[in-house]
Amino acid sequence: MIEITNVQKGFPGNSRAIEDLSLTIPDGKIVGFLGPNGAGKSTTIKMMTGILPIDKGSITLNGIPIDKNSIEAKKTFGYVPDQPDMFLRLKGIEYLNFIGDIYNVPQTIRQERIDTLTKQFQIHTSLQDYIQTYSHGMRQKIIVTGVLLHDPSIWILDEPLTGLDPKSAYTLKDMMRQHADKGNTVFFSSHGLEVVEQLCDMVAIINKGKLLFYGDMKQLHEEYQTDQSLEAVFLELTNDE
Ligand SMILES: Nc1ncnc2c1ncn2[C@@H]1O[C@H](COP(=O)(O)OP(=O)(O)OP(=O)(O)O)[C@@H](O)[C@H]1O
């Protein structure tokens, strides 16, 4: 479970990038995080993962505050950033072994997971190549594999489906469903409204750092007294004019 309580974040030139955001992401659900460009999705995710400090409020992961006990909190989640251009000077296999070492994944489990996951994502023949030579989608897949390698209970994914080919996107969506169905937490940001509508149990919509809606599709339709698609409601909610 992730608990975000009265969180605020400002930057020079944008003192209210996130305004008093409160959100509880329960176990056993896939929660989609939606908002127009610049709404504050990545900023929120970066605070959840300890990359950016929180100005005010608190964020806990399985009850552990990310700002006060960051090492323990970081053991609970795996994070896929929106920009997968990292560790470019490592070979794919070196990166996965590095992650396996950091998270103490035993050798036999490590080998088995690397083999299964990289075959599922069709990158197993590229493991001896440098990540520098990988395409955007391949870089995303190696990072997703690294996250799944240490089997965290919480998955935090920033636009994970962007750039994945249809088969890999299908595989990842299926994994997200299975992970949530086992009682774990899956939180991901997306611009793909149809994917969110199909896949998510709940959606959170933000704009200009403020939460506009959080609930399931039934609540969305009840609240807006409409049977419109998520796309229609999203466009109406985030229309600034
Ligand atoms: N490092 C930074 N310095 C200054 N302003 C920032 C910084 N990071 C984000 N912002 C600002 O905070 C606001 C939220 O940005 P954020 O990247 O969280 O949006 P987003 O919802 O992830 O957008 P997108 O869908 O385009 O990725 C924007 O106004 C952005 O300009």
CATH number of residue 219's parent domain: 3.40.50.300
Tens-place pLDDT, residues 179-236: 999 999 999 999 999 999 999 999 999 999 999 999 998 888 888 777 778 888 888 8
Do both 3 and 69 map to the same domain? yes
Tens-place pLDDT, residues 86-97: 999 999 999 999
Do both 191 and 223 map to the same domain? yes
The pair phi, psi for residue 125, each rounded to 5°, is: -80, -5
Does 46 reside within a domain? yes
Pocket test for ligand 1, best of 19, 41, 48 (most atoms within 8 A of CB): 41
Q: How many domains does the chain have?
A: 2
ipTM beyond cut 0.90: yes
Does 175 reside within a domain? no
Do both 86 and 48 map to the same domain? no
Number of alpha helices (DSSP H) and beta strands (DSSP E) in the chain: 9, 10
Tokens matching residue 159: 């636009």
**DSSP secondary structure letter of residue 229:** -
Q: Closest ligand 1 atom to the C-alpha of 52? A: 1
30: Cβ contacts below 8 Å, ≥ 6 apart: 176, 177, 180, 186, 188, 199, 200, 201, 202
Q: How many Å apart are CA 31 and CA 203, to the nearest integer?
A: 5
**CA 122 to ligand 1 centroid distance, Å:** 33
Instruction: State mean pLDDT over 100-129.
Output: 96
Do both 62 and 108 map to the same domain? no
Does 31 reside within a domain? yes
Residue 122's domain spans which residues?
82-152
Minimal-distance CA residue to ligand 1 atom 12: 17
Do both 103 and 144 map to the same domain? yes
Do both 64 and 43 map to the same domain? yes
Minimal-distance CA residue to ligand 1 atom 7: 11
Q: Which amino acid is at 95?
A: Y
Tens-place pLDDT, residues 154-170: 999 999 998 888 998 99
Minimal-distance CA residue to ligand 1 atom 26: 37
Q: Which amino acid is at 1?
A: M
Does 27 reside within a domain? yes
Q: Is the pLDDT of residue 70 over 90?
A: yes
Do both 27 and 98 map to the same domain? no
Do both 1 and 64 map to the same domain? yes
pLDDT of residue 241: 57
Do both 11 and 39 map to the same domain? yes
